[in-house]
């Protein structure tokens, strides 16, 4: 599908959020493992399994084109030899519209070390309640292991 | 904290849902890794980090005592040497009240192999939208790796 190699899970995560911000479908799918049982849960959405359904879901999300900037905050990273798990707050901002900021999300991202480098295998995002937003902005990245 | 040893991630998951169903706080906390940076997201909740806050959140949830039965469905399991990730639907039922069933949740559970067996290190649950409920009931467990 794609020749991109991500040497670390963090490289895959960076590419994921870059593709999300740019609404770049090919860039997004290059991050995902070529596995039929990848799992994706968009905020307030159901569980989506399989490459085709995951691609379709991102195509719908990206249809309107880029609007929001996205950055991750307060990362907790757990790393094994084959799997890495990152818990992050996804903070969205609309350039030029400080009064209408989208709600942040909480995401659990799981990366698998494949023959073609690290790839995303699970993305589970859910809306962060209002009180979480301040907390997300208070502290920097954390590394667990 | 607890002398319980879970030889597999699945053993830890079974104990997690047994404790959840029984509102057994000590049983629940025996499943969690003794790590300050464990991460827990309850459905529609914010991210909770650290043993003390995770314990406190379960104590609140368990305060009313056992009510619902819980089972998991449609498991996707990804296993490494040190980490295991299970994606499941959590299906709740209120005995004797078939007309008022709680909404299911989608959970991403991450287990870490510690010196004291497998322990939960991340639990991220979010409400499953209505259309997910039928899908969750359609199929049995799936093993990914």
Whether pLDDT at A3 is above 80: no
Nearest CA in chain A to B104: A46
What whole-number percentage of chain B has pLDDT above 70? 88
Residue B55 φ then ψ, to 5°:
-60, -45
Point out the residue among A82, A85, A128 whose CB comes nearest to the CB of B110: A85
Residue B37: band (very low, low, confident or very high) from pLDDT cuts 50, 70, 90: confident
CA nearest A132 in B: which residue? B46
Sign of the torsion formed by the C-alpha atoms of B118, B122, B127 and B130: negative
Per-window interface: B 44-73 vs A, CB < 8 A: 44-47, 49
From B76, B89, B112, residue closest to A78, measured CB to CB: B112
C-alpha dihedral sign at A139, A58, B86, B40: positive
The whole-number average pLDDT for the span B106-132 is 92
Q: How far is B78 from chain A (nearest CA, A)?
A: 9
Strand partners, B110: B85, B122
What is the C-alpha to C-alpha distance for residues B144 and B99, in angstroms, rounded to an integer? 35
Q: Which residue of A has its CA nearest to B113?
A: A80
Contacts 24+ apart (CB under 8 A), B62-65: B62/B23, B62/B24, B62/B25, B62/B28, B64/B23, B65/B23
Helix (H), strand (E) at residue A77: strand A69-79
Q: Does A31 touch chain B (CB under 8 A)?
A: no
Q: In the structure, what pLDDT confidence band is assigned to residue B55 with cuts at 50, 70 and 90?
A: very high
């Amino acid at each position: 599908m794609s020749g991109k190699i991500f040497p670390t899970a963090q490289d895959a995560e960076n590419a994921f959020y870059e593709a999300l911000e740019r609404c770049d479908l090919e860039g997004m799918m290059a991050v995902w493992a070529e596995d039929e049982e990848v799992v994706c849960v968009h905020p307030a959405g159901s569980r989506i399994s399989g490459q085709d359904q995951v691609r379709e879901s991102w195509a719908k999300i990206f249809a309107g084109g880029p609007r929001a900037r996205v950055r991750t905050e307060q990362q907790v990273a757990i790393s094994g030899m084959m799997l890495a798990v990152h818990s992050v707050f996804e903070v969205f901002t609309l350039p030029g519209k400080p009064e209408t900021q989208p709600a942040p999300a909480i995401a659990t991202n799981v990366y698998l070390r494949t023959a073609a480098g690290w790839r995303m295998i699970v993305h589970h995002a859910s809306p962060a309640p209002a009180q979480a937003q301040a907390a997300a902005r208070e502290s920097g990245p954390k590394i667990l292991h």
